[in-house]
């Protein structure tokens, strides 16, 4: 009887540490975004971005496959066709990456990149069109994520406990370099979320020590203010201009 009580109490105690505002990333989720770019003050829709998840199993392990695809809309393909594929194979619980792959084709210019994560070491293989393949190995921190897994890692943060103006730091690896990234909670805002309707969202500012992102609090991500934290809107400011990704469809959530 005592053992049973002890086990029950332990289970209840451990359950109480599970944050009420966070759930794991489900397999089979598919989020579709319309990507727009600001051309002379007017937002013009250029491409579709799809974030999806599924399971990949080997003989020994099961991984969560995080998939990010970018495709220009059909009307733009004749002028400048983009087919980008970013993938990350991660631990389903911790979202720690084991393999990251990037394959981009933008107007005929191609680049393939692969990072194999072995403990605190990354072996990177990179091949750009008309250039030879390069292989490098570099050391990373234990909590370093790639650009795909970081988007999902953000969704596991318990934002309900963060104060407005509070930041959290991350390190990502991109283009064979470690880049510090900070995520700051700016507040809440109601945002139109495609087939989900209007949703109350956390408004987060993404800062990074990189030339890719410009401006202060100009790179924003809006996550639904619930346990799932679905990204519904992303606004970006890059050297060539500004744009946004707006959620049009969310399934498997």
Partner 1 sequence: MRRTFLILAVIFTILSVVFSVLPFDTFALAPIGLSLVFIFIAFRKSSAKQRKITKILFVIAYICAIFVLGKTFLIEDKVAIDNQFEQQKKDAKQEAKKELEDLENDLK
**Least separation, in Å, of the C-beta of 98 and partner 1?**
6
For partner 1, give the closer residue by CB, 98 or 168.
98
| d(C-alpha 122, C-alpha 171), whole Å | 14
For partner 1, give the closer residue by CB, 5 or 42.
42
The residue count of the chain comes to 253
**Least separation, in Å, of the C-beta of 48 and partner 1?**
5
**Least separation, in Å, of the C-beta of 86 and partner 1?**
10
What 130-137 contacts at long range (C-beta under 8 Å, 24+ apart), as own/partner pairs, is 136/176
For partner 1, give the closer residue by CB, 70 or 185.
70
**Least separation, in Å, of the C-beta of 101 and partner 1?**
6
**Residues whose CB is less than 8 angstroms from the CB of residue 59 and which lie 6 or more positions away in sequence, other chains included:** none
For partner 1, give the closer residue by CB, 92 or 210.
92
**Least separation, in Å, of the C-beta of 179 and partner 1?**
23
Phi, psi of 101 (to 5 degrees): -135, 145
**Least separation, in Å, of the C-beta of 117 and partner 1?**
8
| d(C-alpha 151, C-alpha 246), whole Å | 15
For partner 1, give the closer residue by CB, 28 or 187.
28
Q: Which residues sit at the interface with partner 1, rule CB under 8 A?
A: 34, 39-45, 47-48, 56, 58-61, 63, 65, 67, 69, 71-77, 79, 83, 85, 87, 89, 98-99, 101, 103, 114, 116, 118
For partner 1, give the closer residue by CB, 23 or 147.
147
| d(C-alpha 3, C-alpha 161), whole Å | 35
- Take residue 198 and report the two structure tokens written for it: 């209007």
């Amino acid at each position: 009887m005592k053992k049973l009580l002890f086990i029950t109490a332990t289970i209840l105690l451990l359950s109480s540490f599970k944050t009420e505002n966070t759930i794991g990333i489900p397999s089979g989720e598919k989020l579709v975004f319309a990507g727009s770019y600001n051309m002379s003050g007017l937002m013009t829709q250029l491409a579709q971005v799809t974030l999806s998840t599924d399971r990949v199993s080997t003989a020994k392990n099961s991984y969560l496959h995080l998939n990010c695809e970018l495709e220009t809309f059909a009307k733009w393909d004749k002028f400048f066709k983009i087919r980008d594929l970013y993938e990350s194979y991660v631990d389903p619980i911790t979202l720690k990456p084991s393999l990251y792959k990037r394959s981009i084709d933008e107007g005929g210019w191609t680049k393939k990149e692969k990072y194999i994560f072995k403990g605190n070491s990354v072996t990177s293989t990179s091949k750009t069109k008309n250039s030879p393949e390069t292989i490098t190995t570099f050391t990373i921190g234990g909590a370093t994520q790639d650009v795909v897994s970081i988007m999902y890692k953000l969704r596991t943060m318990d934002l309900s406990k963060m104060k407005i103006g509070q930041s959290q730091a991350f390190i990502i690896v991109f283009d064979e370099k470690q880049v510090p990234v900070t995520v700051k909670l700016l507040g809440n805002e109601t945002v139109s979320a495609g087939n989900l309707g209007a949703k109350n969202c956390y408004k987060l500012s993404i800062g990074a020590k990189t030339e890719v992102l410009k401006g202060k609090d100009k790179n924003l991500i809006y996550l639904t203010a619930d346990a799932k934290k679905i990204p519904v809107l992303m606004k970006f400011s890059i050297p060539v201009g500004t744009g946004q990704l707006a959620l049009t469809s969310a399934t498997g959530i």
